[in-house]
Amino acid sequence: MRILITGGAGFIGSHLCDYLLEQGHEVIAMDNLITGSLRNIAHLRDHPRFSFINHDVTQPIHVEGPLDAIFHLASLPSPVDYLEMPIKTLKVGALGTYYALGLAKAKGARFLLASTSEVYGDPLVHPQSEEYWGNVNPVGPRGVYDESKRFAEALTMAYHRTHGLQTRIARIFNTYGPRMRLNDGRVVPNFIRQALRGEPLTVYDDGSRTRSFCYVSDMVDGLYRLLLSDEPTPVNLGNPHEMTILEFAQLVLRISGSKSEIVFVTPQDERTKDDPHARQPDVRKALRVLGWSAKVPIEEGLAKTIAYFASILDEI
């Protein structure tokens, strides 16, 4: 297949490029490099089935030649990014999805939207299944990201119902691994950076909030399986192994061998306003429909991620 990946120079997008090329496909990565990096795809520069287009998906998208599939991953998923660029975040979710769907319709291509667990907001149901409609504050600081993805899902389903477009929706839960941005404000790179530099690990409040972490190789496998499936409604992709943020901080210290201490802080900005208190995917649908479940244990994936960050720490 000839496949376009928007956000192809980003963390998950670049790993998806690798995966699809290994499967024998032709891959076009599209990115405007606001949060993506050419470093993530530098090893693919001379690959005969890979090409890169520097383009902002909030502008009309044109790709020469046929397309069989589009993975729409372009977004601003980090709190640092969407708090600094709220309007851009909304435009990527709304206009970016609109233009990507229009391209899929014009090319007769299958379309996969990379949505997010954030559509569930600060959930009142635990774990979160695809049937749960969520608990989102549309006017809070996180609303620009949450609502952009909820709108993107609605638009994707509208194209499916109105135009018969072959669409897929992946609700991605916390994913980690090499090529994450070290300073993107999320808990995995934050803790690893602090541990490797011997700085205190800053745990917000009492560390009792929970997350479930999925290694990136598992995630791209799930995305590919979903693309090839016949399931048009949302599917959760994530690792259901839940742990508190404090437990995760302790695990980072143990695996990295860092002597850093853990300190508890109360955020002085809006970064954690409406931050989910608990996050755990119900992945029974993914297992039933895709035959997929996360395989990589957190200790194994975290060791690989720490090794990656250690190798680039002096360069950042």
19, 82, 145, 215: which is the annotated catalytic residue?
Answer: 145
- Pairing state of beta strands 50-54 and 69-72? unpaired
- Rounded to whole angstroms, what are the CA distances from 113 to 42, 136, 207? 25, 20, 32
Residue 67, helix vs strand vs coil: coil
> Which residues are paired to 201 by β-bridges?
262
CB atoms within 10 A of CB 118: 25
CB atoms within 10 A of CB 43: 12
Residue 145 annotated as catalytic: yes
Taking CB atoms within 8 Å and a gap of at least 24, the contacts of 129-133 are 129/236, 129/282, 129/284, 129/285, 130/171, 130/233, 130/234, 130/235, 130/236, 130/282, 130/285
For the annotated catalytic residues, the residue numbers are 145
